């Protein structure tokens, strides 16, 4: 599956044909990474610019400390799954772990909330939940948070963000939602409460901005 790196957005999950497809600056590819890619040949697109036509991706191992920032040629992609596709297809309903894992159960409650806000085709699960739903490899635990991404192209009223944040915060599982905008992402919790400045996560690093919807004056965040 040959793709232009610019077509792939942060959080997109990619099935690859093994660890040999990955390119890293490390002198030696970690042994855990080889095993991880064999067990679950999936990587996630990182928030970083493409390099020499290569896609910035991350590989995860079984432990939280096992994360490898690496690069992938588009030709090595076998399958491409976005968080929005996972939500649209309601993939969690077929998960064998759904009844026992709170983070997976919460998706049944998040979906109607998003629909009521007119956002049903613009959100999706990321993090360990998204990885498990795409790869069918068990990674979510009883204590896992639920990470979400909400993709918006046009300015979103702060009042709407506050309402959504209030509803999600009332759920019995911690939910971390990133509002993905044209120039980067802002945490929903910050967007709903910040006054005057926001930390915008961009491919060049975090930036402190007055308006995250425009590409105006920015400075590096502390």
Active site members: 145, 147
> What phi, psi does 61 have (nearest 5°)?
-105, -165
- Other residues' Cβ atoms within 10 Å of the Cβ of residue 207: 18
3-class secondary-structure state, position 39: helix
CA–CA gap between residue 49 and residue 186 (Å, rounded): 18
Nearest to 108 by CA among 84, 122, 91: 91
Nearest to 38 by CA among 16, 70, 64: 16
CA–CA gap between residue 208 and residue 101 (Å, rounded): 36
């Amino acid at each position: 599956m040959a793709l232009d790196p610019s077509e792939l957005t942060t959080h997109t999950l990619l099935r690859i044909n093994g660890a040999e497809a990955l390119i890293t600056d490390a002198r030696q590819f970690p042994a855990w990474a080889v095993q991880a890619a064999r067990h679950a040949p999936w990587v996630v697109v990182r928030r970083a610019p493409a390099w020499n036509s290569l896609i910035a991706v991350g590989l995860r191992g079984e432990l939280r400390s096992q994360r490898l920032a690496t690069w992938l040629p588009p030709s090595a992609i076998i399958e491409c799954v976005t968080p929005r596709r996972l939500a649209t297809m309601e993939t969690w309903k077929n998960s064998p772990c759904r009844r026992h894992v709170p983070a997976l159960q919460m998706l049944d409650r998040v979906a109607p909330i998003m629909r009521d806000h007119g956002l049903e085709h613009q959100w999706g699960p990321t993090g360990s939940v998204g990885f498990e739903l795409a790869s069918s490899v068990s990674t979510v635990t009883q204590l896992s948070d639920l990470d979400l991404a909400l993709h918006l192209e046009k300015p979103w009223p702060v009042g709407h963000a506050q309402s959504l944040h209030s509803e999600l915060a009332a759920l019995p599982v911690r939910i971390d939602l990133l509002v993905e905008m044209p120039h980067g992402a802002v945490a929903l919790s910050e967007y709903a409460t910040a006054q005057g400045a926001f930390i915008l996560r961009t491919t060049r690093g975090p930036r402190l901005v007055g308006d995250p919807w425009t590409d105006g004056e920015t400075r590096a965040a502390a």
